[in-house]
Structure 1
Amino acid sequence: MPAVNRVELYAAIRRDARAGVSNRALQRQHGVGYRTVVAALESAWPKERKPPPKRGSRLDQYRGVIDDWLRADLDAPRKQRHTAKRIFDRLQDEHHTTDVSYWMVREYVATRRREIRIEAGREPANTYIPQEHLPGREAEVDFGEVAIRLRGELVTCTLFSLRLSYSGKAVHRISASAGQEAFFEGHTHAFRALGGVPTGKIRYDNLKAAVASVIGFSRQRVEADRWTAFRSHYGIEAFYCQPGIQGAHEKGGVEGQIGWFRRNHLVPIPEVHSVAELNAMVDVWDEADDSRRIGSRARTVGEHFATEQPLLAPLPNESFETGRWFTPRVDRYAQIAVRMNKYSVPARMVGRQARVLLNASDLVVFDGKTEIARHERLMTKGSTRVDLDHYLEVLLRKPGALPGATALEQARASGRFTPVHDAWWAAACKAHGDADGTRALIEVLMLHRHLPHEHVVAGLATALRAGALTADAVALEARKHNETEDGGADDKTGHHPTHLGGDRARGEGETPAVRSLTERRLRAHIPTDTRPLPSVDKYDQLLACRRDPPNEGAAP
């Protein structure tokens, strides 16, 4: 019976007893025994039930022996101390135990070994000292792993978190890797979102992006050169935690923050088309988290941060380049290798060196100072990402290579090469032959460089319905869609140009015609010329002179 019901029962028994009800009548009235009535009359508060006696274990008679062996290990070399398996073997050999299992010994040794070390003063007990954090001074940084669905595929990304110790305000950034470029980009984004830099220490564990090596068991570290320059640029004072699980407790705030963020915002697993789209969602979540309270605090995170933000150090005037530069050589497949992955570049770069800026989630390829390619960074090692546009000039000379091209398959998978492209391609090959039809498709694909993707697809669909299987016809229709969306008009009355295959009613048997773009523009914008035609009489006189040549026998 629950304790609260026993309190009410005791109160009722005591009330009836004061009214003169006998003990036997109290037992019948409340449905209890003689001992309960006596206990209720003795005290208004029920006594605590005695815990059941602890059940004995077959290991009890050997506990003292095991404890003696563990105490002897205190002065033994570290590599020559008893393990649970060795203690179990000695019990069998020296004490002939047959009813004690290895798992009983292992469970006892796992708990008792540390207790003996604490009793002997060799190891402190787990005691945590409360800390006071001043506003605007301290922060903590760490990485964590998160899973997302990127274009339908489950991939693992890295979550960067910088958390201010006083207010609990945290800024997050998701990237393709935990490399140095992601480490720097996370800091830069966090400082920009916070509007300043903590004036005191920022706590880190031994991240490879910052620490080249750990010196012994001390807090001294050999830092990476770029990290030293980055710290100097922003005025960061780094504090490195101890290696292992003990160091994790020194920055428990950010450790718990990453877990809280993952459980509250990334469950269920988000489905996105790009990491940039996901980071836009993360920024919204970070702003919304300002309204939450941490633990038993009376004020929200945003209210504490409003007090802390003016105390942060101002940002430097110039930004720090967070990406890393590489100068790979373009191979014969028009690809470059960066961090064990391959990316395509325009085919004209084959055999030349390119300049590559590797960022946290993308990479940019330059030819001199001109950007020639941009790719989303690959998540796994040994992968390849190619852009069909980079091979179009080569495919014009080798149209037979297009059907089995890797770039074509990746374009289909990404949705850039649509079923409309395939349908128009098949119709063009049927009308002009495989080689000429494929060349016509490649010329259509080149239109994507100058016109929006959706307008080229709409032009393909319109041309396909009209039976216009040339690149010029597709270009005409794509430009019509482009001008229509931009507010272009077909004539001065404001009517939009007529699209092929539209809803305009046609007569029976009428075949839609693809009009000339030049003709349409001339008709729409050039007024009728009413001037008289020029006279050619003077030119007739010149022609008459040429028809009367001088006599060959005449004197000069």
Structure 2
Amino acid sequence: MTEAHDIRHRYFEEGKSITGISRETGRDRKTIRMYIEKEDWNEAQSDSRPEAEFPKLVPYKGDIDAWLTEDKKAKRKQRHTARRVYDRLVEKYPAEFNCSYRTVAGYVAKSKREIYGKSAGYLPLEHTPGETQGDFGDAEFYEDGRLCQGKYLNLSFPWSNQGYLQLFKGENQECLFEGLIAIFEHIGGVPPEIWFDNTRTIVSKVMKGGGRTLTEDFLRFKEHYRFKAVFCNLEAGHEKGNVEGKVGYHRRNMLVPVPRFANLTEFNRELLKKCDEDGEREHYRKNDTIAALYVGDRAALLALPKAPLDVSKYVTVKTNGYGRFYLNNGLHEYSVSPRHADCRVLIRLTAGEVLPLDKDHRVIVRHPRLYGDYKQQSMEWLPYLTQLSRSPNALKYTGIYPMLPGSIKEYLERCNRSDRGKVLRLIATLTGESGFEKALETVGQALKYPVTDVDSLLNLHHRLYDRVFELPPLRLSESIPRLTRVTPDLAAYDACLEKAGVPRC
């Protein structure tokens, strides 16, 4: 009515032509003429007659609904047609079934509209079992003592209000896919329908009229797991209100106080277990527990695919003269090795790791993936130390020497020429066994002593970091005699000392 009023006002009050109004509003000339010439503005009344209830099918509706509901787990081309439903009813009830194919087809069409929804463009009035909603939230956490500005993926089931979350250091495509896969595998199936925002990780373009162009990787992911992806209207996150509330609930109840842990992967496994336990509480509206209602959601899950899907991203980079490369617009620097300097290297990116690969697709080194729009560096020293140990006399003339930490350079300066190769090999060995940080700390502690030999460096490392097992006290058997405390009389010793000419003190 607002549009009709605006068109009639432009024509009758402002005196504009139909062509001019069409140009200004973008509406078709026939539509504008219809509003201008319309005289009867009575509102058309909808047909209030109830839909046919198919009374002859009442004894068989349970079977039909069960077959059609089970179809949600099957591929689209392997679902029941009205003809197949009719044939199965004839086979199952050969004596008493007397309904026509037209009657069956009418009921099947009506039931399919109720089960699958009349249109993908409208929100369902009631949530159905198996439907899920996904969204990310913000949260901080400490991993191995280091503060991280993180994101966490939330997947909620509005029917039961069951929810799951996975914590990450960022919000990219790899985090989304790995988080969903972890939840799918934990719950033992795939939700048939998942609602998303129009995030750039999966939607490359929102077209006029509501259409969407999805990224190639997301299309591959969706087809592999066979779920239906539904998207909210732009700036309408409230359309998936259940998960919006779940984001806050998960933060308050599972991420407060700020979590501290040694390994993110292990912590994420614990989060999934906590989510299962959380389902034992009462549903906020329905008269049952979340876990009891979740049985309906689980029954609607699709089977997991037989083959796993590699959701890593692969990029080819050019390394510099030091065998290092950059990601995230040059902000994040990673090392490979001196052997891979000034060449092209294939990089595998996961949510948590950056993995340079050799020509046989074997991992060269492993880096934790860096997040944040500021300059950072991840350096794996073992390949560089190994290379240096092979040519220690050329140490100062390589491009690697300036990259070494100051404590290592100072220690090498103290070593004689013949020991430098041995020291570098030992540092490489300690790096492989305990990590570069511990090897570097050992060298730093060694600078406090005047010795620079390999054995002293190795012994110092063992003293600093090797575990010393404390043995329990031995229990003596009854056959071993107990010693009594004796207070010695030293007067005899004093007498002997005096005879030898030593004066008594």
| Normalised TM-score (structure 2) | 0.58
- Confirm or deny that 1:255 pairs with 2:247: no
- Confirm or deny that 1:289 pairs with 2:278: yes
Shift of the 130–370 alpha-carbon distance from structure 1 to 2, 3 Å rule, reads closer
Matches within 5 A, 1:29-428: 131-135=125-129, 137-150=130-143, 152-199=145-192, 201-218=193-210, 220-244=211-235, 247-340=236-329, 341-368=332-359, 369-381=361-373, 382-392=375-385, 393-394=387-388, 396=392, 397-398=394-395, 408=405
Which structure is richer in relative contact order (CA contacts within 8 A, separation 6 or more)? 2
1:25-78 Cα offsets, whole Å, 9 max, x none, are xxxxxxxxxxxxxxxxxxxxxxxxxxxxxxxxxxxxxxxxxxxxxx99x989xx
Taking the aligned partners of 1:307 and 1:221, their CA distance within structure 2 comes to 31
* Mean Cα deviation higher: 443-452 or 154-163: 443-452
Shift of the 130–367 alpha-carbon distance from structure 1 to 2, 3 Å rule, reads closer
Taking the aligned partners of 1:337 and 1:483, their CA distance within structure 2 comes to 36
Alpha-carbon distance, 1:282 to partner: 2.7
Shift of the 477–178 alpha-carbon distance from structure 1 to 2, 3 Å rule, reads closer
Answer yes or no: is the 8 Å Cα contact 2:382–2:432 preserved in 1. Answer: no
Answer yes or no: is the 8 Å Cα contact 2:322–2:400 preserved in 1. Answer: no
Partner of 2:79: none
1:327 alignment partner, SS class: strand
Shift of the 228–407 alpha-carbon distance from structure 1 to 2, 3 Å rule, reads farther
1:148 alignment partner, SS class: strand
Answer yes or no: is the 8 Å Cα contact 1:364–1:371 preserved in 2. Answer: yes
1:525-553 Cα offsets, whole Å, 9 max, x none, are xxxxxxxxxxxxxxxxxxxxxxxxxxxxx
Query: For residue 238 of structure 1, what is the amino acid of its counterpart?
Result: A
Taking the aligned partners of 1:132 and 1:405, their CA distance within structure 2 comes to 66
Partner of 2:486: none
Shift of the 227–425 alpha-carbon distance from structure 1 to 2, 3 Å rule, reads closer
1:151-175 Cα offsets, whole Å, 9 max, x none, are 5554322211111222222221222
Matches within 5 A, 1:447-466: 447-448=429-430, 451-452=433-434
Is the radius of gyration larger for structure 1 or structure 2? 1
Alpha-carbon distance, 1:315 to partner: 0.2
1:450-476 Cα offsets, whole Å, 9 max, x none, are 534599799989999998743356558
1:170 alignment partner, SS class: strand
Shift of the 455–345 alpha-carbon distance from structure 1 to 2, 3 Å rule, reads closer
1:298-331 Cα offsets, whole Å, 9 max, x none, are 3333332234324311100111111100111221
In structure 2, the gaps of 5 or more residues are 11-122, 470-505
Alpha-carbon distance, 1:267 to partner: 2.3
Answer yes or no: is the 8 Å Cα contact 2:347–2:354 preserved in 1. Answer: yes
Answer yes or no: is the 8 Å Cα contact 1:451–1:478 preserved in 2. Answer: no
Taking the aligned partners of 2:431 and 2:444, their CA distance within structure 1 comes to 18
Shift of the 185–468 alpha-carbon distance from structure 1 to 2, 3 Å rule, reads same
The number of aligned residues is 347
Answer yes or no: is the 8 Å Cα contact 1:425–1:437 preserved in 2. Answer: no
Taking the aligned partners of 2:402 and 2:353, their CA distance within structure 1 comes to 24
1:256 alignment partner, SS class: helix
1:158 alignment partner, SS class: strand
Percent sequence identity over aligned pairs: 22
Query: For residue 314 of structure 1, what is the amino acid of its counterpart?
Result: A
1:315-374 Cα offsets, whole Å, 9 max, x none, are 001111111001112211211223332211111111222221101121111112221111
Partner of 1:114: none
Answer yes or no: is the 8 Å Cα contact 2:145–2:260 preserved in 1. Answer: yes
Answer yes or no: is the 8 Å Cα contact 2:139–2:150 preserved in 1. Answer: yes
| Normalised TM-score (structure 1) | 0.53
Taking the aligned partners of 2:278 and 2:131, their CA distance within structure 1 comes to 20
1:355 alignment partner, SS class: strand
Partner of 1:8: none
2:135 alignment partner, SS class: strand
Partner of 1:443: 425
Query: For residue 268 of structure 2, what is the amino acid of its counterpart?
Result: N
* Mean Cα deviation higher: 338-347 or 356-365: 338-347
Taking the aligned partners of 1:144 and 1:185, their CA distance within structure 2 comes to 16
Shift of the 249–235 alpha-carbon distance from structure 1 to 2, 3 Å rule, reads same
In structure 1, the gaps of 5 or more residues are 1-70, 77-128, 410-421, 487-556
Partner of 1:470: 453
Taking the aligned partners of 2:413 and 2:340, their CA distance within structure 1 comes to 30
After superposition, the CA RMSD in angstroms is: 4.1
Shift of the 483–379 alpha-carbon distance from structure 1 to 2, 3 Å rule, reads closer
